[in-house]
């Protein structure tokens, strides 16, 4: 047995490294691997790190490094030896994508996080931040959702495979902390939107899907936009660059293996969201709700008191953030 820096005994596997667990200020010359840097979350983290003066950033596209490939991930960590890891890579999508590609969402996300987390342990990464999702919580969890509500009830069936994979990632980080002393933390962001979002007509999340739908209806002069469900479910939305700011803040200040929520602490109904986006896009038609389609979880509001107590608060108001996201969509749309 070996005593970790925080005094807890841990078992060290042969030919492996003891992960450091202590408060670590991220030095500007640290090698930082941002897994998933081309996605909405990863690209926001990349922009934040660059703005703060970090220039030893390790970046690989999925074509350059398939994170589902165990040997490829092992070779990458052995060659590059990152000091810190932001694990933002994942297979993601909205209700339809999650419910249609259930095996893919479970298998691929398990493979990605298992490979990266294990190699971070194997190669002595100083600290790893794992990004989960608010869908890990029970479908009927009390509101607002506290971190301790994890695994206290049944999940929303439509995205259960993705949620199970993310729960496994949280538990894996905690297990490596408990057994090997690794400083691996897990953060649970609420629903996200922002620059570089996914606007796929079938596989996107609700906010970017609505931006695209209203824009295309406006362009085509359609008299009506149909939205899935009743419009009554309530959702919380966080601008991705605010999430990136929170992630860097927690990488520098938070060393607890217990997960922590990241959000705004406020929500609105899907109907109110739709009418807000309708106004921002300047669509003049009507909105109809297709009540034969599923609503998903009735409400998902995160309790962010733990994060607020540490001193972090979001700064981007929803209307301002949607305007920036719509401008980004227009730039992408014009480039296609």
Positions marked catalytic: 162
- The verdict on whether omega for the bond into residue 144 sits within 30 degrees of 0, i.e. cis, is yes
Say if residue 38 carries a ligand binding annotation. Answer: yes
What is the full DSSP assignment across 204-236?
S-HHHHHHHHHHHHHHHT-SEEEEES-S--EE-
41 assigned ligand-binding residue: yes
Q: In a 10 Å sphere around its CB, with 0-12 CB exposed, 13-18 middle and 19+ buried, how is residue 263 labelled?
A: buried
132 in a known ligand binding site: yes
Write out the two tokens for 129: 């931040």
39 annotated to a ligand binding site: yes
The alpha carbon of residue 320 and the mean position of all alpha carbons in its chain are separated, in whole angstroms, by: 21
Is 312 known to sit in a ligand binding site? no
> Is 118 one of the annotated binding-site residues?
no
Neighbouring residues of 109: CB distance < 8 A, sequence distance ≥ 6: 90, 91, 162, 165, 166, 169
228 is in an annotated binding site: yes
Q: Confirm or deny that 42 is annotated as ligand binding.
A: yes
266 is an annotated ligand-binding site residue: no
193 bridge partner residues: 239
- Give, for 3, the enclosing helix (H) or strand (E): strand 2-3
Q: Which residues are annotated as a binding site for NADP(+)?
A: 36-42, 131-134, 166, 189-192, 205
| Sequence ranges of the binding site | 36-42, 131-134, 166, 189-192, 205, 213, 228, 235, 295
As annotated, the binding site for substrate includes 213, 228, 235, 295
């Amino acid at each position: 047995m070996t005593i970790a820096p925080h005094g807890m005994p841990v078992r060290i596997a042969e030919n492996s490294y003891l992960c450091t667990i202590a408060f670590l200020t991220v030095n500007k010359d640290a090698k930082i691997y941002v897994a998933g840097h081309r996605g909405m979350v990863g690209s926001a983290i990349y922009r934040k790190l660059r703005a703060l003066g970090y220039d030893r950033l390790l970046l690989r596209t999925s074509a350059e490094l398939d994170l589902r490939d165990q040997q490829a991930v092992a070779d990458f960590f052995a060659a590059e030896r990152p000091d810190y890891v932001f694990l933002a890579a994942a297979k993601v999508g909205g209700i339809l994508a999650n419910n249609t590609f259930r095996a893919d969402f479970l298998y691929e996300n398990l493979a990605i996080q298992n490979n990266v987390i294990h190699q971070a342990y194997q190669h002595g990464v100083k600290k790893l931040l794992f990004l989960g999702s608010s869908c890990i919580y029970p479908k009927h969890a009390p509101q607002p959702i506290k971190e301790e509500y994890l695994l206290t009830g049944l999940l929303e069936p439509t995205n259960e495979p993705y949620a199970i994979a993310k729960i496994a990632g949280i538990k894996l980080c905690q297990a490596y902390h408990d057994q090997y002393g690794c400083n691996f933390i897990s953060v649970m962001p609420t629903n996200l939107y922002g620059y570089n979002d996914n606007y796929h007509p079938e596989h996107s999340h609700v906010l970017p899907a609505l931006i695209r739908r209203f824009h295309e209806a406006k362009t085509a002069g359609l008299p009506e936009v149909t939205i899935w469900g009743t419009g009554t479910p309530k959702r919380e939305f966080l601008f991705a660059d605010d999430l990136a700011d929170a992630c860097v803040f927690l990488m520098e200040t938070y060393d607890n293996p217990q997960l922590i929520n990241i959000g705004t602490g406020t929500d609105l109904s899907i109907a109110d969201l739709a009418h807000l986006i309708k106004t921002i896009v300047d669509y003049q038609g009507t909105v109809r709700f297709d009540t034969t389609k599923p609503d998903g979880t009735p409400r998902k509001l995160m309790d962010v008191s733990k994060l607020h107590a540490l001193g972090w608060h979001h700064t981007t108001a929803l209307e301002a953030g949607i305007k920036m996201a719509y401008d980004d969509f227009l730039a992408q749309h014009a480039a296609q």
